[in-house]
Amino acid sequence: MWFGTFLRQTGLQGLGKSRAGRCAVCGRRTIFLVTEDENLRENAFCVWCGSISRNRHVARCIVDTFAARGVRRFRDLAEVQGLRVYSLSAGDVFARVWGNRPHIVYSEYWEDCASGQRRNGILCEDVQRLSFEDESFDLVVSQDVFEHVPDWRRGLEEVRRVLRAGGYHIFTVPVDPIAKTSPRFERRGEELVPIAPREMHGDPLQGTIVTYTTFGRDLLDYLRETGWEAELRETTKEEERRWGTFACSTLVTRRV
């Protein structure tokens, strides 16, 4: 599965930048295989589990956040009793490492499938209208989801609603270091009309999906104004070297 992504990307021009380290997701000593070094955040595949830099940085942030609950390695999270987790991906490397657990919920999104229904056994959820009850989770994880959500503010409100007070949403979106958060579409009546050049991202389920929003660092201000403690944690050189978290930043946010 991950190998397909790897094969599709094999220009192999970055191979010389591949390096050794310990994978923050699967925990093994590994090689981070760089096939293309322009966007290391989405590259540097662990040869064991297929994780990319972004996955590993999120994993490190989760471990740091839950260290006090006995989480030392990423996989430990699956063993913590009483911790309820929701991940907005059912097919990623996190789902593979954590596996099927009663206290971990995974979902995917299909436009023509209502929240709470299942398709091929996988739960469908639209983050703008989640099917879960209030205060259902201690941790919500999403990776590069919110730039694809038409009403991302509504989506964040929904995540807030389903988190317990003090619960965490640990997530990534591509953050532009200079630009302000700005829509790439505008609602006119029922329609969303593009107001910026179309930007598509690869998606394992849908092929490609459209980007509705460019996020800037001012997302932090928005989060703080809407009931979150929020930090944009940028990877350090030491982490990059040790855990293969190249060029990453992750939002660690806590429902106040």
Query: Residue 50 or 155: which CB sits closer to Zn ion?
Result: 50
Residue 168 Ramachandran class (φ > 0 left, ψ -120 to 50 alpha, else beta)? beta
| DSSP state letter for 125 | -
Pick the binder of Zn ion from 21, 26, 130, 137 (CB under 5 A).
Answer: 26
Scanning 45-53, 76-84, 97-105, 147-155 for contacts with Zn ion by CB under 5 A, the matching segment is 45-53
Pick the binder of Zn ion from 40, 46, 62, 88 (CB under 5 A).
Answer: 46
Nearest approach, Cβ of residue 49 and Zn ion (Å): 3
Query: Does 97 contact Zn ion by CB under 5 A?
Result: no
Scanning 46-54, 63-71, 73-81, 194-202 for contacts with Zn ion by CB under 5 A, the matching segment is 46-54
- Distance in Å from the first CA to the final CA of the chain: 38
Spatial separation of the C-alpha atoms in residues 232 and 234, rounded to whole Å: 6
Q: Considering just the CA atoms, what is the radius of gyration of the chain in Å?
A: 18
Sign of the torsion formed by the C-alpha atoms of 110, 44, 98 and 75: negative
Nearest approach, Cβ of residue 154 and Zn ion (Å): 34
Cβ-proximal residues to 89 (8 Å cutoff; 6+ apart), any chain: 95, 106, 107, 108, 142, 143
Query: Residue 181 or 250: which CB sits closer to Zn ion?
Result: 250
Pick the binder of Zn ion from 34, 49, 105, 127 (CB under 5 A).
Answer: 49
Nearest approach, Cβ of residue 97 and Zn ion (Å): 8
Query: Residue 52 or 127: which CB sits closer to Zn ion?
Result: 52
| DSSP state letter for 16 | G
Binding residues vs Zn ion (CB under 5 A): 23, 25-26, 46, 48-49, 51
